[in-house]
Structure 1
Amino acid sequence: MANATAAGHALRALTHLASRAEPVPAAHLARALGLPRSSTYHLLTVLVEHGYVVHYAEDRAYGLGSAVHELGAGYQRQDPLQRLARPHVERLVDTTTHNAHLAVLTGRDVLYVIEERAAGRPSLVTDVGVRLPATLTASGLAVLAALPRRQVTALYPSAAVMVDGGPETPSALRRELVTTRARGYALEVGSIQPELSSVASAVRDRDRHPVAAVAITFRNEEIDQVAQAELASATQRVAEAIGSRL
């Protein structure tokens, strides 16, 4: 139990240091953790020895060490989003019998990281590793609609960065995102392939920040508005399930 308590203090210390823009004195950390200074110094000594904390002696302050970066790099190498999301996307295809995918936002593009095909469904131009302008896709619109407005403005400051086939101006994009939020899901009709449409929902992490989007693509002629809403609800359930795992 004592070891578990010490581990908890160490994790709290690292979390607090990660929340600060600059290294902090040991006294500050002791107050933040509610620990005696002697315990805090002992904890910091252990973390420094293992590379998780750096002691800036000239500033009498402590900051995060390189071992924390290695943890982050290891997290990325293991592709946790893809590992956690794939079974859910596979089940989405099985239950809806439509093609489904998971995409992440990179700059003003979406990058497709999971593609699951349903038997007998049309071939798609999207595939793992393919990038498309975010404003043309349901996945991209779903993520953009979940971002803070200031971040969207930073991504799309002027008409010069808009792409053909999507909203032509930043104000037109903002209106589209308002509609997306009001609808509860993103919708793309024929922007990528004329005969196909997609619905998508954003995957949010524990801080409610959008990290990806789950989408279903279908033939326009096969799906009416009622069926479209049902498919959209399916993407919402899967997006929430993935988000709860992150």
Structure 2
Amino acid sequence: MSRSVPAATAALRVLRYLSRRPVPTPAARIADDLGLPRSSTYHLLTAMADQAFVTHYPDERTWGVGVAAWEVGQGYSIQEPLARLARTPLATLVDTVGQSAHLAVLHGAEVLYIIEERGVGKPPLVSDTGVRLPAHLTASGRAILAALPPAQLRAIFPGSAPLVLRTESGPRTRAALGRILVQTRQRGWATEDGEVTPGYTSVAMSIQARALTASIAVTWAVTDDVEVDVVLEELRRTTRLITARLGRRELP
């Protein structure tokens, strides 16, 4: 690939091109229409197919949009209305409890933070917008995982390799995580204490809506004087409000 057309830029151009085509397209046509070298285009398409962003139809010698690209589009179509509908309730929650809060969605074995509302005078947190963290370590992730069926949990955490840690604490095995999720279901809310950032604790509740795996969490320093029962009540009110808003909107 020439220096003037970096591979990442070329891949995005190919995706946009294929998404606008009514039928799968030969590689030579893709290269010619986009002004890309044919040999580089074949290599690029092969790499994209390995990641399922494009699909090769060998009988027709054509290429089309792959399932991974569809998943990205689906993720955006859900997350964008979620962020829009949740922003005001999240800001109200922060104003009420005086601590920082964030909205996260599940992405594989990680949570992706799509909104962070920082409390007045509170320091920035690692869970900033756009950050991904291991779901099993965060209160946000545990709240979501606890609401999933066992088969989906097994798919997210296959095998027996040790779970990653950020600090000295946290579940190292799937069995340990399972016990945490049982406790989370029984309580109706998730927690973590120093497992993401030493000196900080979080509580979270899931947002229950069709085709959606998301949660709201509140985080504070352990040195802060926090009435946890008040935080939980406001968190419960906020998740119910967002769930009701989502229920009035038809998600994909």
TM-score range, shorter chain: 0.5 to 0.7
Measure the CA separation in 2 of the matches of 1:168 and 1:78: 30
Query: Normalised by the size of structure 2, how large is the TM-score?
Result: 0.63
Query: Normalised by the size of structure 1, how large is the TM-score?
Result: 0.65
Change in CA separation of 1:233 and 1:79 when aligned onto 2, cut-off 3 Å: same
Measure the CA separation in 1 of the matches of 2:174 and 2:74: 35
Change in CA separation of 1:121 and 1:244 when aligned onto 2, cut-off 3 Å: same
Measure the CA separation in 2 of the matches of 1:79 and 1:135: 24
The alpha-carbon deviation at position 204 of structure 1 amounts to 1.0
Q: Which of the numbers 202, 205, 210 marks the counterpart of 1:198? A: 202
Aligned to 2:126: 125
Change in CA separation of 1:184 and 1:223 when aligned onto 2, cut-off 3 Å: farther
Measure the CA separation in 2 of the matches of 1:90 and 1:97: 10
Where do residues 108-187 of structure 1 align in structure 2 (5 Å cutoff)?
108-160=109-161, 162-164=163-165, 165-187=169-191
Aligned to 1:96: 97
Task: Specify the SS of the correspondent of 1:146.
Answer: coil
Aligned to 2:43: none
Paired residue type of 1:230: V
Aligned to 1:218: 220
Contact 1:202 1:236 in 2 (8 A): no
Measure the CA separation in 1 of the matches of 2:108 and 2:76: 21
The alpha-carbon deviation at position 75 of structure 1 amounts to 7.7
Measure the CA separation in 2 of the matches of 1:144 and 1:78: 18
Change in CA separation of 1:131 and 1:109 when aligned onto 2, cut-off 3 Å: same
Contact 1:203 1:239 in 2 (8 A): yes
Change in CA separation of 1:75 and 1:88 when aligned onto 2, cut-off 3 Å: same
Contact 2:78 2:212 in 1 (8 A): no
Contact 1:153 1:170 in 2 (8 A): no
Contact 2:104 2:140 in 1 (8 A): yes
Measure the CA separation in 2 of the matches of 1:84 and 1:137: 23
- How many residues are paired up? 172
Aligned to 1:244: 244
Change in CA separation of 1:223 and 1:187 when aligned onto 2, cut-off 3 Å: farther
Contact 1:100 1:115 in 2 (8 A): yes
Task: Specify the SS of the correspondent of 1:197.
Answer: strand
Q: Which runs of 5+ in 2 are unaligned?
A: 1-69, 247-252
Residues 117-165 of structure 1, C-alpha deviations (whole Å, 9 max, x = no match): 1111132112110000001100000000111122112211233161124
Measure the CA separation in 1 of the matches of 2:75 and 2:198: 41
Q: Which runs of 5+ in 1 are unaligned?
A: 1-68
Measure the CA separation in 1 of the matches of 2:76 and 2:201: 34
Change in CA separation of 1:233 and 1:162 when aligned onto 2, cut-off 3 Å: same
The alpha-carbon deviation at position 169 of structure 1 amounts to 1.1
Residues 98-122 of structure 1, C-alpha deviations (whole Å, 9 max, x = no match): 0010000000000000011111113
Paired residue type of 1:175: R
Contact 1:100 1:216 in 2 (8 A): yes
Measure the CA separation in 2 of the matches of 1:171 and 1:73: 32
Contact 2:139 2:202 in 1 (8 A): yes
The CA RMSD measured in Å over matched residues stands at 2.2
Percent sequence identity is 47
Task: Specify the SS of the correspondent of 1:238.
Answer: helix
Contact 2:162 2:172 in 1 (8 A): no
Task: Specify the SS of the correspondent of 1:136.
Answer: coil
Change in CA separation of 1:220 and 1:88 when aligned onto 2, cut-off 3 Å: same
